[in-house]
Structure 1
Amino acid sequence: METAVRMLETFADRGVEVCFANPGTSEMHLVAALDRVPRIRPILGLFEGVVTGAADGYGRMRGAPALTLLHLGPGLSNGAANLHNAFRARTPIVSLIGDHATYHRKNDAPLQSDIEALARPVSRWLETAETPAQAIDLAGRAVTAATRSGPAALIVPADVAWSDEAPSPAAPEAGASSPSTWERRIDEIAATLGRPGCALLLGGRQLGAEACAAAARIGAATGALVLTETFPARVERGRGRAALPRIPYLIEMSAGVLGAIGTVILAGAPAPVAFFALPGRPTRPTADDARFLTLVESGEDPTSALIALAEAVAGPAGEPAGGAPVAAPGFADADHERALDADLLARVVAATLPDEAIVCDESISLGFYAYDFAAGAAPHDWLSLTGGAIGQGLPLATGAALACPGRRVVALQADGSALFTIQALWTQARESLDVTTVILNNGAYAILELELARAGAPSGGAAARALFDLTRPAIDFAALAAGFGVPATRVRTAGELATALNRANATPGPHLIEAMFR
């Protein structure tokens, strides 16, 4: 299995430190090789969607690739939903996917599938290693590709991995990046921003505080509307930092915000579109004749370009850099005994958020206000559901906690989507991760009730309502958490939630809070 060892050594030499895994028979030599490459820490996920989602959270916060180790086409398929989210976020991930031995493929064994076809839609780089030398060379290329562009997939047949050939790892590729092209656009875009009816739209792998502050300065100096993507991959925000609004999720609302805009400047974000086509509604929030100018390509880091653009339209940065301060909304003494609703949830989370926390948000309908209310909370990072594939929140929090030990991770998690990857709690317990999970339990797929009405379908009868109902039988998340080894608390009022959050956030290790909204 020297080839497997050399592959892992190649990954480690290029800065890979963690391998999230749910392997099978075809990956056993890669598993065994981990004992000989202690620089890579193995992390077990009980389901492939946990593996890929955790790698996404790790990559977003670490800025460097994690490995995932997946079993053939079915294992990849189980993890594809969260690879889709990572694909949209352009998160650096290298997925090692086992395949049958090269000479066994022709036999059409029960687990045979077209792995490349399954991997292609969620991979920005994809290769299959047919020889030991090729496997080691491609290992290095996969890290480079993932670092530059996002999820990379390397398919490794079992006989390639178990080979005792020991070709030397290829030399690291040159780290030269593509030259920036935004410099030549600055003058044109600065002049355009001086005209009415402009919007500046931010996106990319990470919207750091510096980028957001520069964008806020641009907006203040030019009157341009400044927004971020609806679900940005990672944003640094909170007290003392610029509070930039997001494009609303609902096309009815986003069209109201952008419908009169004549020019949209894209800074790391794609042109905005509706999540779904619905009867009688537009598919784009902008007017048909809106003009789009690209400052920075979609997915790229816009920080340097935004700083230069801010200096062009507003002069050198002054103090404070973060724009006008935003106060975190609190909740009054009288609110402590009130039953939880979306407004109170957002207020309590904002009031209790620890310094430099990482918020992983898959709160769906009940978390509607949480992002905006946290603008004045303690400084934090906010990670969103980038691709819309549910089941992301708990694994994302798991990976973020592994990437940033010493920082508390707060997962805002809807009840229905939590069940897609609830096994992540076990990994949090096994690794003693500092994650506070808040399950927002309203006993329903409430977002689908809204979407039923928006789609113009007939009002839901008994059969339709049954597909949105999670109360027959009711799900006991506190009991599920205990079964996975995570201490749990159930709360019903704002005061109980605040007490539970403060206690959990101050206690090492994972904790789950089941917040009842019914």
Structure 2
Amino acid sequence: MNGADLLIKKLADAGVTACFANPGTSEMQLVAALDKEPRIKAVLGLFEGVVTGAADGFARMTDKPALTLLHLGPGYANGIANLHNASRARVPVLNMIGDHATHHLELDAPLTSDIDGLTSAVCAWTGVSSSSDDLAEVGLKAWQASMAYPGQVTAFVAPANHAWDPATSDAAIPEAPAPNTLSDEQIREAANALRNSDAAALFMGGHALRENGLVQAGRIAEATGARLITETFFTRQQRGAGRVETERLPYFGEMAAEHLQDLDTLVIIGSKPPVSFFAYPGKPGWLSPEGVNLLRMGDHTVDSIDTLTRIANELNAPETVEKVAQRVEHVLEAGPINAVELGKVLANRLPENAIVVDEGATNGLGAFLMTGNAAPHDWLTLTGGAIGAGLPMAVGAALGCPDRKVIGLEADGSAMYTVQALWTMVREDLDIAVLILNNGSYAILNIELARVGVEQPGPTALSLLDLTNPAIEWTDIAKGMGMPAERVDTVDALDSALERAMNERGPRLIEVML
């Protein structure tokens, strides 16, 4: 047994079940080791951003780290943007980065790079093996670090000779770290603040937006009248009929500040105080109202559901929540498609327990607002703002939950960042319906031009936001990847296409003209 064999076996023993890979020469021993380990499914991505984004989606739906296999520093660098999103989502991702053999590093070959410097940007923990016997130990330490609640992006470097040299030792599987919890005094302080407030809200993210967390938040709301407000870009929210409803904080800073302005108490759970996504001339970045009683219930390492449950119990809140979302069937308006009608169609057609991966940008909000009363589902968003996450996350979510339908709401501009994910969807026969929301533009940036004070943008500025010269033929791209595809430009056509997509298994693309 060589170092690679022992490493992969031990990661499988620890519970790793998936590896998203884009390997190179230095990783061939690791590839061979994966071939011998049936407990880990190996999935090829044609670009490292697909690999890392898929690991993010897998982790969001399973709470377990997928392994990535990346080729030296440049390969890892290609995946950093979606690791940034995973880091902001606070989910477990375990990056396995091949490197030159240790004796080759001194030659400064073309692919030699500062891997440690690159991983420090988004990884909470990085290790480098010291020998073939140490490789499995370092991999398990990285696994353990990735499992720190609620999850972390970690990395370990596997020099090629440590993978091919014989390994004679063994490595014990470490325990996953337990989440932190708050003191009884902190719980009482929050309960008293909520009890004595005239206008309170819980501001929530992370695991607080799982169904059992929302039940506890709903108990608190029914006992105190507190509003339930979520992060604008949350990791994963379980929503739909039968679940506790929430308010989503608006994206634009002044709208968000107005949304919060009447509060006298803001209790933050599983998140941090809300701030504007960007700075704007003359507009505030800090969004909490002046003079508000702001209580942050620990940082992201604190068990959010435990916090909510104990606050609800301290308030003697009712055990069951009466106010939950009710199923609504929307009446469609015939004609051209807009964001609202898109949302209505999606709400009517979502199957139970669907997973929606939302990178819809300007048109995703309408879909979100209209689906609160749809069948129960999970909604994933772009936590770190680095576009190109949606298609890969859909891959990871589908592999993590193979019995659930995945819907990818994808803006046309964002989709081009990681279009290679369509190929992996077909290769793995994943049950994903991709809706390309095609408005031929980076539309959000047209709005942002005005918001930063550019009153009369010229042709050069406007051309940098335009995607119609030449127009991107999405159905041709999908078919070139082996994926069935169709284009729709009316509400009725969209409804029919989505009905077929929901009733038939397998990957497909619907280009939605907006």
Q: Same fold (TM over 0.5)?
A: yes
Q: Which residue of 2 aligns with 1:187?
A: 188
Decide which moves more: 127-136 or 283-292: 283-292
Decide which moves more: 482-491 or 198-207: 198-207
| CA–CA separation in structure 2 for the residues paired with 1:101 and 1:294 | 47
Q: Which residue of 1 aligns with 2:161?
A: 159
Contact 1:296 1:305 in 2 (8 A): no
The CA deviation string for residues 227-278 of structure 1, in whole angstroms up to 9 with x for no partner, is: 1111110111100111111111110111111234343211111111111111
Matching of residues 316-355 of structure 1 within 5 Å: 316-318=318-320, 320=322, 323-328=323-328, 330-332=330-332, 335-336=333-334, 338-355=335-352
Aligned to 1:213, the other structure's residue is in SS state helix
| CA–CA separation in structure 2 for the residues paired with 1:396 and 1:205 | 18
Contact 2:179 2:303 in 1 (8 A): no
Q: Which amino acid aligns with 1:27?
A: E
Q: Which amino acid aligns with 1:512?
A: L
Contact 2:230 2:246 in 1 (8 A): yes
Q: Which residue of 2 aligns with 1:26?
A: 26
Query: In the alignment, does 2:399 pair up with 1:402?
Result: yes
Q: Which residue of 2 aligns with 1:137?
A: 137
Contact 2:86 2:384 in 1 (8 A): yes
Contact 2:356 2:409 in 1 (8 A): yes
Q: Which residue of 2 aligns with 1:369?
A: 366
Decide which moves more: 121-130 or 286-295: 286-295
| CA–CA separation in structure 2 for the residues paired with 1:179 and 1:249 | 30
Contact 1:211 1:306 in 2 (8 A): yes
Q: Which amino acid aligns with 1:188?
A: E
**Aligned-residue RMSD, C-alpha:** 1.6
Aligned to 2:364, the other structure's residue is in SS state coil
Alignment equivalent of 2:464, drawn from 455, 467, 473: 467
| CA–CA separation in structure 2 for the residues paired with 1:105 and 1:458 | 53
| Cα distance, 1:446 vs structure 2 | 0.2
Q: 1:302 to 1:179 in 2, by over 3 A?
A: closer
Contact 1:89 1:205 in 2 (8 A): no
| CA–CA separation in structure 2 for the residues paired with 1:288 and 1:162 | 61
Q: Which residue of 1 aligns with 2:44?
A: 44
The CA deviation string for residues 5-52 of structure 1, in whole angstroms up to 9 with x for no partner, is: 000011000000110000111111111111221211110000000000
Q: Which amino acid aligns with 1:98?
A: G
| CA–CA separation in structure 2 for the residues paired with 1:74 and 1:316 | 54
Q: 1:182 to 1:345 in 2, by over 3 A?
A: farther
Q: Which residue of 2 aligns with 1:67?
A: 67
Name the count of aligned residue pairs.
511
| CA–CA separation in structure 2 for the residues paired with 1:242 and 1:182 | 27
| CA–CA separation in structure 2 for the residues paired with 1:117 and 1:278 | 31
Query: In the alignment, does 2:392 pair up with 1:390?
Result: no
Q: 1:113 to 1:458 in 2, by over 3 A?
A: farther
Q: Which residue of 2 aligns with 1:112?
A: 112
Matching of residues 222-241 of structure 1 within 5 Å: 222-241=224-243
Q: 1:132 to 1:184 in 2, by over 3 A?
A: farther
| Cα distance, 1:288 vs structure 2 | 4.7
Query: In the alignment, does 2:493 pair up with 1:496?
Result: yes
| CA–CA separation in structure 1 for the residues paired with 2:362 and 2:20 | 30
Q: Which residue of 1 aligns with 2:256?
A: 254
| CA–CA separation in structure 2 for the residues paired with 1:393 and 1:259 | 32
Contact 1:217 1:314 in 2 (8 A): no
| Cα distance, 1:135 vs structure 2 | 1.5
| CA–CA separation in structure 2 for the residues paired with 1:151 and 1:208 | 21
| Cα distance, 1:130 vs structure 2 | 2.2
| Cα distance, 1:141 vs structure 2 | 1.3
Q: Which residue of 2 aligns with 1:421?
A: 418
Contact 1:412 1:440 in 2 (8 A): yes
Contact 2:127 2:157 in 1 (8 A): yes
Aligned to 1:475, the other structure's residue is in SS state coil
Q: Which residue of 1 aligns with 2:222?
A: 220
Contact 2:241 2:324 in 1 (8 A): no
Contact 1:21 1:68 in 2 (8 A): yes
TM-score (norm 1): 0.95
Aligned to 1:368, the other structure's residue is in SS state helix
Q: Which amino acid aligns with 2:458?
A: G
| Cα distance, 1:182 vs structure 2 | 4.5
Q: 1:317 to 1:97 in 2, by over 3 A?
A: same
Q: Is there any run of 5+ residues in structure 2 with no aligned partner, and where?
A: none
Q: Which residue of 2 aligns with 1:310?
A: 312
Matching of residues 9-24 of structure 1 within 5 Å: 9-24=9-24
Q: 1:357 to 1:4 in 2, by over 3 A?
A: same
Query: In the alignment, does 2:79 pair up with 1:79?
Result: yes
TM-score (norm 2): 0.96
| Cα distance, 1:371 vs structure 2 | 1.3
| CA–CA separation in structure 1 for the residues paired with 2:47 and 2:176 | 35
Q: 1:457 to 1:229 in 2, by over 3 A?
A: same
Decide which moves more: 357-366 or 217-226: 217-226
Query: In the alignment, does 2:359 pair up with 1:357?
Result: no
Alignment equivalent of 2:447, drawn from 441, 446, 450: 450
Q: 1:395 to 1:116 in 2, by over 3 A?
A: same
| Cα distance, 1:289 vs structure 2 | 4.0
| Cα distance, 1:286 vs structure 2 | 1.2
| Cα distance, 1:179 vs structure 2 | 4.9
Aligned to 2:410, the other structure's residue is in SS state strand
Contact 2:437 2:512 in 1 (8 A): yes
| CA–CA separation in structure 2 for the residues paired with 1:312 and 1:498 | 47
Q: Which residue of 1 aligns with 2:435?
A: 438
| CA–CA separation in structure 1 for the residues paired with 2:208 and 2:215 | 13
Q: Is there any run of 5+ residues in structure 1 with no aligned partner, and where?
A: none
Contact 2:276 2:286 in 1 (8 A): yes
| Cα distance, 1:439 vs structure 2 | 0.3
| CA–CA separation in structure 2 for the residues paired with 1:309 and 1:268 | 14
Decide which moves more: 255-264 or 184-193: 255-264
| CA–CA separation in structure 1 for the residues paired with 2:456 and 2:12 | 56
| CA–CA separation in structure 2 for the residues paired with 1:200 and 1:212 | 11
Contact 2:222 2:317 in 1 (8 A): no
Contact 2:19 2:41 in 1 (8 A): yes
Q: Which amino acid aligns with 1:50?
A: V
Contact 1:123 1:150 in 2 (8 A): yes
| CA–CA separation in structure 1 for the residues paired with 2:179 and 2:330 | 46
| CA–CA separation in structure 2 for the residues paired with 1:282 and 1:179 | 33
| CA–CA separation in structure 2 for the residues paired with 1:329 and 1:250 | 30
Contact 2:222 2:321 in 1 (8 A): no
| CA–CA separation in structure 1 for the residues paired with 2:87 and 2:191 | 31
